[in-house]
Structure 1
Amino acid sequence: DAQAEHAALRSSVVVFDRSHRSRILVSGTDAADLLGRVFARNVMGIEEGRAVRTFALDECGLVGDIALIVRTGAISYLVCGEPGQRQWTVARLQGAKAEDFDARVEDRTLATCTLAVTGPGAEATLREHVADALPAALEPLQSVAFEFHGFRALVTRTSDTGEDGFEFVLAPAAALHLMQILGTAGVLLAGDTAHETARIEECIPAYSPDLEIGLTPAEAGLDALLGIGGSAAERVLCAVILENEVTAGTPVMAGALAVGEVRSCVRSFSLGAIIALAVIDQRHSFPGAALVVGGRPAAVVARPFYRRRREA
């Protein structure tokens, strides 16, 4: 039941299996320089045990992957990227290596799993049921390696749903054990629909379907989202309220003029409305702009659709 899973995410805690995301280890004395050739942020300044969100660019300056990069050691980094972009990112990293670079690119995706424990009750749940394994309290985007039932594991405090969260990278056997512990504790295993709904409510773009048409960081809103200086764009990814559910690629109309297209669309359980992310011409992208999608009225609104309630 996606609605029940979404409600648990917003009110307590769920676990997502995010193992379809890529996990690429980049190591060596030139690892940071190599990552700097592919990703928009300079990772040289990342402290060991910290993570940053960034994006990879192709040769044309278009976004090719959105990633969390964790500095796991003095000269090692774990790149956790978008589902479906693993081979592209591995090839991009391999192709960016200079001949004299001391840098290794190892695809660890098939040998590991990613579990995301997410929701306002995530920290309390982990403290109660995985306390012996977890290290001290983590700050947002802090990461630490630890021992879990005989396996090395990595946890980072991060989430792409708008809620608090902890992302674990583990061996398959350790991931299964963690799932069993959480299941015994009554934590729901939430599926893709609940995750996709939460992601769109938070206006966090995914490579597919939001960016696969070929967008610059400014068009995707990633420069602002990640606090990276960007340039003006003639079209931008906007938050739109609709009256009917539509598929990716549905035109956005201003009168008889096509001014964009829908990329993601879901029924928001939090808002009781149909919401979408759409690429729209800049002049029609301001909140309140009246448009037509699928033959029905639509309106651009301020991002995000949903904000997590924070305790005073």
Structure 2
Amino acid sequence: MTEQVVVTIQHPAHVHFFRNAIGELRDRGYDVCVLAREKDVACELLDHYGIDYRRLSGAPRSTLGLLSVQARYEYEILKRVRHLEPAAILGIGEPAVAHAGRVGDAESVLFTDTEHAALQNAVSLPLADRVYTPSAFWDEYGPHHRRYPGYHELAYLHPDRFDPVELAAVGGDRPLVVLRLVSWTAAHDVGRSGLDDLKRLVAGLERFGATVRISAEGRLPPALAARRLAVAPHRIHDLLASADLFLGESATMSLESALLGTPALYVSELRAGVLEDVERRSRLLRWLSDGSGPGEVLSHARELLAVRDSTWTRRRRRLLEDRIDTTALVVEVVEDVVGAERAEATAARIGPEGRR
């Protein structure tokens, strides 16, 4: 009998987190149903990697719209899980996964590394059958909470999974700085902000002799529009590996850069255990509060750009030496869930007489 597994996708980063595991599980004979919500380039990435999926809802256009989209998305997941009756349903911090697991009698498995998503965590993690977090995660969720020595991003950036293609032409002979701006529309981002005075910041970086390329979820000021990245979404990690510095408001891309050996200057009020762990263990990541002015940010950027590449290579090697391949963990978790279900079903068929 083919075992059914459901994987939910709500963000482009979730595509990367699950894509290798989806492929391995399908190779092992599992029927993996991928349910996706439109968010930025999530569906574009699924198409690129040839992952079959069902699109359940569109992208929200406002904070109020986010609530409507989430409600629709959760309803659709509940309906499909009741129909499919999967052995396991997987997601990243997604309330619908925990709720569907209860209604559809599937093992709900949630992965998360984001402590500041407080409301989402409160309505999902306590209800999930299993919760997996990096060991650096600050919070505790009881006996169903398991920790592993690694980071979400090593599901796709572990050296066994990713060999970057150098994109030297992007920056030419000049140091390449990738500047990332987020939209601040996620539920846990409302009321928050990041970098200020972008024109002054970009001008200062270019005075250092850097080439600046901007990745932005929203519109850019006309004066900066020509610096927007012209790289396909699936090549963004090649770009980060080729860069000399990452500067931005995205915690995920800051971690990705550090794990690839590119120093990251993360500017935000949002903190997380994994960010502090990478900063402490490797100094490949440096955090500045969102109150840091352009002058302070530029001073740190200049300092990081002056460090030799060999130093970053050495620090990356030290950072990764005892971290696991997170994709292998995801596959192992599914195998464990299915194995436990099979054992339970066998025991039920045998009955107490047969177990004597």
Do the two structures share a fold, i.e. TM-score over 0.5?
no
- Structure 1 or 2: more strand by fraction: 1
- Structure 1 or 2: more helix by fraction: 2
The TM-score, its normalising length taken from structure 2, stands at 0.27
Structure scoring higher RCO (CA < 8 A, sep ≥ 6) equals: 1
The structure whose Rg is larger is 2
